[in-house]
Amino acid sequence: MGTPMERNIKILKRESTALLLIDIQEKILKVMHSQDQVVNNSLKLIKGFKVLNLPIFYTEQYPKGLGTTAEPLLKELEGLSPIQKMSFSCFGAGNLFTRLRDNNVSQIVIAGIEAHVCVQQTVLDLLANEFQVNVAADSISSRSEMDYKIALDRLRDHGAEITTAESILFELLTYSGTDEFKEISKIVK
């Protein structure tokens, strides 16, 4: 008998995955490249993670100056509290990394801004702490397209999985034909 077949260990698993939305705030969002795409795809992720009953965390960088999380996202995040931070990396956002580990989260899906600052530093710190990081490339941005592209290249070079919101949701579903599949299919349309 041969060795049993296995799925790739990088495929997201429900029991170990959480969503982290980084600083998608009103005042800074206005100057982002592809801001509508970031909001729309972040909404898909939030709604999909809610359908799948998976943990969602979100941060706000210096909300006094940058405002709160964008209104369309806040409506979907009702009942959750933002993790406020002054550090660029979410590594400095209180005990967030410890909370993730304590909840058996080892795979993190990332959406947010800016790709080359807070997102990049957070992803590098998560990787340094042995989390698998899946960056939803269509759910992050920077003010300039060049900063966005260089950040994605750097994160890929350091071991982050670069993917899309829709790909993430279908990876977590695993199977078609379920009620969850039907709900998520409506979300991504």
Q: How many CB atoms lie within 10 A of CB 5?
A: 5
Tokens of 164: 């899309």
* Terminal-residue alpha carbon distance, the chain: 44
What does R_g of the chain's alpha carbons equal in angstroms?
16
Provide the residue type at 121 as one letter.
Answer: Q
Q: Which residues are annotated as catalytic?
A: 23, 85, 118
DSSP string, 115-137: IIIIIHHHHHHHHHTT-EEEEEE
Rounded to the nearest 5°, which phi and psi values hold at 102? -65, -25
DSSP class of 92 = G
Instruction: Please state at what angle helix 145-157 crosses helix 120-128, rounded to 10 degrees.
Output: 10
On whether the CB atoms of residues 54 and 17 are closer than 8 A, the answer is yes
Tell me the three state secondary structure of residue 54. Answer: coil
